Amino acid sequence: MCADLWSFALSTYARPGAEHACLRLQAQGADVCLMLCGLWLEQRGVAPQPLRLQALRQIAGPWQAGVVEPLRQIRTQWRALAQQDAELGALRERVKALELEAERLLLSRLEGVAQGWPMADVKDQAWLEGLAAGAANLDHDALHQLRAAVTST
pLDDT tens column, 86-111: 999 999 999 999 999 999 999 999 99
pTM: 0.91
Tell me which of 1 and 3 has the higher pLDDT. Answer: 3
pLDDT at 121: 73
| Inside any domain, residue 73 | yes
Asked if the structure places residue 40 within a domain, the reply is yes
Which H, E and C letters describe the chain, residue by residue?
A: CCCCHHHHHHHHHCCCCHHHHHHHHHHCCCCHHHHHHHHHHHHHCCCCCHHHHHHHHHHHHHHHHHHHHHHHHHHHHCHHHHCCCHHHHHHHHHHHHHHHHHHHHHHHHHHHHHCCCCCCCCCCCCHHHHHHCCCCCCCHHHHHHHHHHHHCC
Q: Give the chain's domain count.
A: 1
Asked whether the predicted pLDDT for residue 153 surpasses 70, the reply is no
145 lies in a domain?
yes
Q: What is the pLDDT of residue 1?
A: 53
* pLDDT band, very low/low/confident/very high, at 27 (cuts 50, 70, 90): confident
pLDDT tens for residues 36-66?
A: 999 999 989 899 999 999 999 999 999 999 9
**More reliable by pLDDT, 146 or 67:** 67
Whether residue 120 lies inside any domain: the answer is: no
pLDDT at 125: 72
pLDDT at 2: 64
Q: Would you say residue 121 lies in a domain? A: no
Find the domain containing 107 and state its range: 5-115+126-151
